[in-house]
Structure 1
């Protein structure tokens, strides 16, 4: 078991080191201003939307940092380094709007004309959830769970969970048209699915099993489950078959479409 965690951690370190900009690359991207709060160090562009709203961003991110620790049952207290880009082009993003490097306690996000992945309720928790779950719980090779908990935390850290219905509606629509991917396929080959499908489906399923069985069991599956035998690991943790839970979850989502 220990060797499994070590292998996952090594892979993630290599991925993070290959992707995160080094000092030279950051300098080549232009000038940065810096601000610090209790749990973050922010880097943002001069004369940017983030520069104008930095106090609001700090307040929202501090709020969500505290709430995530409470919801996840963690006591993570390391400072997170947040690089706030003006837009997708500034960040060099082509297929994402944000990314996290948990081993480095670093996130890259946007705040501007292309949207927001920091500082706004409903999205402020996503990348931070990746940092806290990895460092507070441990690594996982199950993106269905790592993205699922991050998407669900977007809703759980909102004023209420009223907006949770957005993921449910997407799942219901996919199910109604026969396009809902099965959970085991998402667990074993997450990357083959379009993110407009994989993310809300994962978030909906994660939210369902957390609300039904509790966070502690989800945490156990997160750290001990494997993508190559997810159904067996699910059965071991929850003492109920994945197929039975998936069937109940998908039919519950169907009800939201009829509302």
Structure 2
């Protein structure tokens, strides 16, 4: 492939030929694929040849539990105890939320990061398909993504609240309980305003150590005070919401209290928490620490 910008005189050979090799996943049930070359810049491109190759399917072996279909390759089987642990974690979360989930997760376990990157064309070592309910990973046990699979049918809330629920259920961030980190932030004037937390654009720009524990603490407060049934109703109300005003309105509609009153009650709760085990400001060396 060669490129030539339209602002310059076209000269075949103005750039060395190079190979562009792109891998992509074809959705399940697809009957055909049309391959097209679309330029991402102004000018003209010459293609020496274009080819489309369907790789040979990997020889997956499988086993099933109530909510999972596990897949692994013969050279590195998924340990049976990992499957049992994964199903147990799923059941425990459902029990804590007071729900029964019919979700079935396709769990693909790869022997190493090189294999998953080569097979899926990834830069990282994990891929999640929410549509197909697939998890591709090099980890024998997942303690995070499956919770999103469980709760997504109830609603897809602001990113902070989605992550907050996961970390509330584990009650751990960087080795500390999430309420203690939130109390620490409040005491030292480092608590992120909830309006920033709920706004997706601002949330993703902030350090996770400032956002995740706070969202998890707020989530836990709502669940403990009002119950899981109300929280699941809230998920439906804030489905697709990523800004403050509709979030605050949904809170008031579900809980019968203004967001100002709920935030005040939550902060009063945090002021009663002992966080003395956490390092003082200035002693924190990593953004993973509170």
Q: TM-score, normalised by structure 2?
A: 0.62
**Which residue is 1:78 aligned to?**
103
Structure 2 CA distance for aligned equivalents of residues 150 and 27 of structure 1: 36
Q: Structure 2 residue aligned with 1:212, among 198, 222, 225?
A: 225
Structure 2 CA distance for aligned equivalents of residues 192 and 82 of structure 1: 31
Higher helix share: 1
**3-state SS of paired residue (2:83):** helix
Cα RMSD for the two superposed structures: 3.4
Structure 2 CA distance for aligned equivalents of residues 28 and 198 of structure 1: 43
Deviations 1:11-37 (A, max 9, x none): xxxxxxxxx944899969976543332
Report matched runs for 1:132-151 at 5 Å.
132-135=150-153, 137=154, 139-151=155-167
The answer to whether 1:60 aligns with 2:96 is no
Report matched runs for 1:93-104 at 5 Å.
100-104=128-132
Deviations 1:90-114 (A, max 9, x none): 56465xx866433322223442xxx
Aligned length: 217
The answer to whether 1:130 aligns with 2:158 is no
Structure 2 CA distance for aligned equivalents of residues 44 and 77 of structure 1: 23
Report matched runs for 1:1-259 at 5 Å.
21-22=25-26, 32-48=60-76, 51=77, 54-85=79-110, 90=116, 92=122, 100-111=128-139, 118=142, 124=143, 126-135=144-153, 137=154, 139-155=155-171, 166-189=177-200, 190-225=203-238, 226-228=241-243, 229=245, 230-254=247-271, 255-258=273-276
CA radius of gyration, larger in:
2
Structure 2 CA distance for aligned equivalents of residues 211 and 202 of structure 1: 14
Deviations 1:184-204 (A, max 9, x none): 221122322223332222222
